[in-house]
Chains A and B, each alone.
Chain A
Amino acid sequence: MAAEGLPIGRRRRFWRRFASHRLAMWAGWLLAALVLAGLAGPPLGRAFGLDGEAVNLFGRLAPASLAHPLGTDELGRDLLLRLLEGGRISLAVGLAGALLTALIGTAIGLAAGYAGGRVDALLMRLTDAIIALPLLPLLIVLAAVDLTKLGLPAALVEGGLASVWRIVLLVALFGWTTVARLVRAAVLSQKERDYVRAARALGAGPWRIAVHHVLPNVASPVIVATTLSIGNIMLTESVLSFLGLGIQPPLPSWGNMLTNAQELIWQAPHLAVWPGALIFLTVIAFNLLGDGLQDALDPRGDTRLQ
């Protein structure tokens, strides 16, 4: 996915560089495995007659066994299935949040860089302002705001996945500034290049130029920034869960599983160890992946002091 939009020759070089970045490769495999497990796990479980939501009051906090490879949680549900289900939600929040962030950021960056002048000044002031905002308190206010008062339909606000959408939206609303700055800078540098001038001379509209000529060239930094932000968003979700404003049960997420396990830490440490470790590993993996991508996409990446 990462190399989309790069010319063929550069694509091969990208893979070579990326493959040479051992840690990033490992991180990539780990993430692929986690995503696959999250997607395939619950349907597979159901196929075998296992249900991650089936409560069994008489099998609470059971240790690992053949039937429950990681044991059960405080309601006797299979921990492995819960982790897979929770992983799916946590990863979905991270990915959706990062994508939306990138989308908003790119749009604003393009607009600012392209329009220039007053629009640019205004958008960049806005960016500065948002960067200066104390993020967490604002997320708290927004997470508690009654969205129906803003005229949103109740069905959207109150559905089962509502807490997921809310978090994705909130994170994107404040997270776009990095991408916007990157894209703006790239646009400014590309705008005056010969091929863009040529395209313009040939009568291409600004939209066409932006999409066909400028965007492919700003893709690299955006991809890197987006990959790096996935981990951050997952951490934000866990913190919001800690504050009681995250993903609401019965939907599991690694964040709320970890939060719930706090009180049982002495009695059932495995309940806390697994989601904690998974968040930790996943976030590290996304960071390493981003790091590897940066190296592979940055033509000067192999500078070495010998």
Chain B
Amino acid sequence: MAGYLVRRLLETLLLLLVMSFLIYGLIGLMPGDPIDLMVSADPNLTAADALRLKALQGLDVPLPERYWRWLVATLSGDLGYSRLYARPVLEVLGPRLLNTLLLMGTSLALALVIAVPAGILAALDPRGPVDNTINLLAFAGFSMPSFWLGLLLIILFSVQLGWLPAGGSASIGESGLLDRLRYLILPVLTLTLLTAGTFIRFVRAAMLEALREDFIRTARVKGLSTTAVVIRHALPHTALAMITITALHVGSLFSGALVVETIFAYLGMGKLIYDAILGNDYNLALVALLLATLVTLLANLLADLAYGWLDPRIDYGG
């Protein structure tokens, strides 16, 4: 078990290293560096100025060498400055990460709360009217372009009804929890509607699978009520599926929140990563992307460990 953990952690580190190299290279392949943009916009910048500015920002050395410098600095704990925000990377990243975790955590929890009962209900009546209705709703949930859904919600709840703020993270000058919540409702609702459908499908499939298992058939033959069968026997069985889907979704929520964050002017990681990439902010983009990957990998690792705990048949040997 400990061996397994060490191996997985080593793999994660290796993967992060490879990723950092690839991302650095890819950002380098994007045409038009920011200094070039400045030169094209400002007639007073001379060639010498451009060279000087490039040297100042370390853009004058070849890409592999730049990457190497970055790696050495990062490993020694110096994450450097964000080019876009002129602040240390962590200082920029910290609040954004918290915002995103808040947004993600809430919508993930909400999606699970909706998906578990809905998925079970659907599975108890396969191809029946309940199942069909739930299925259709689930499909409807993830079949909408996210920006479209967000905009519709703003139009309905902020413009027409005037109930909720259309965007931002908090009222200016207020720090109450209630105020924060008001700003969270619409983005969380959007994300939840988009993810709950997928979750419902997963729970339904896992439940159907479980209901086919021999021990459940036996329990039913013994005369246990449907509710008892589901709660005592089938539900624990679907826990595995739930863990998988949650772990997998952590990663996609990280980046998938980008669109929702843009529409609701919510300051989170998705938007930060996007801006950093397009702004050639190497330091920020790399750390943010690697962090997002790390969180996903760790979530997967936790999911695997939970598997072992819940399902003793899985063996971590070797």
* Complex contact flag A–B (Cβ < 8 Å): yes
- Please give the residue numbers on chain A whose beta carbons come within 8 Å of chain B beta carbons, in ascending order: 21, 23, 125, 128-129, 131-138, 140-142, 144-146, 149-150, 231, 235, 238-239, 242-243, 255, 258-259, 262, 265, 272, 276, 279-280, 283-284, 287-288, 291, 295, 300, 303-305
Nearest chain A CB to B45's CB is how many angstroms away? 23
Contacts of A255 in B (CB 8 A): 145
Binding site secondary structure of chain A: helix
Contacts of B134 in A (CB 8 A): none
- Roughly how many angstroms separate A228 CA and B127 CA in the complex, as a whole number? 18
- Roughly how many angstroms separate A288 CA and B273 CA in the complex, as a whole number? 34
Contacts of B29 in A (CB 8 A): 145-146, 149-150
Does B15 contact A129, Cβ atoms closer than 8 Å? yes
Q: A132-B300, A136-B258, A137-B289 are in contact. Are A23 and B145 (CB under 8 A)?
A: no
Nearest chain B CB to A30's CB is how many angstroms away? 13
Does B293 contact A133, Cβ atoms closer than 8 Å? yes
- Chain B window 122-141, contacts with chain A (Cβ cutoff 8 Å), 1 for yes, 0 for no: 00111100001001100110
Does A239 contact B147, Cβ atoms closer than 8 Å? yes
13 contacts between A and B (CB under 8 A): A129-B15, A129-B18, A129-B19, A132-B300, A134-B292, A135-B251, A137-B277, A140-B277, A141-B26, A243-B259, A276-B144, A283-B143, A283-B144
Does B126 contact A304, Cβ atoms closer than 8 Å? yes
- B165 at the A/B interface (Cβ < 8 Å)? no
- Please give the residue numbers on chain B whose beta carbons come within 8 Å of chain A beta carbons, in ascending order: 11, 15, 18-19, 23, 26-27, 29-31, 124-127, 132, 135-136, 139-140, 142-148, 151, 155, 208, 211-212, 226, 248, 251-252, 254-256, 258-259, 270, 273-274, 277-278, 285, 289, 292-293, 296-297, 300
Which residue of chain B lies nearest to A145 when distances are taken between CB atoms in the complex? B29
Contacts of B27 in A (CB 8 A): 141
Which residue of chain A lies nearest to B276 when distances are taken between CB atoms in the complex? A137
Contacts of A231 in B (CB 8 A): 143
Contacts of A279 in B (CB 8 A): 143-145, 148
Leading 4 A-B pairs by shortest Cβ distance: A283-B143, A136-B255, A134-B255, A146-B31
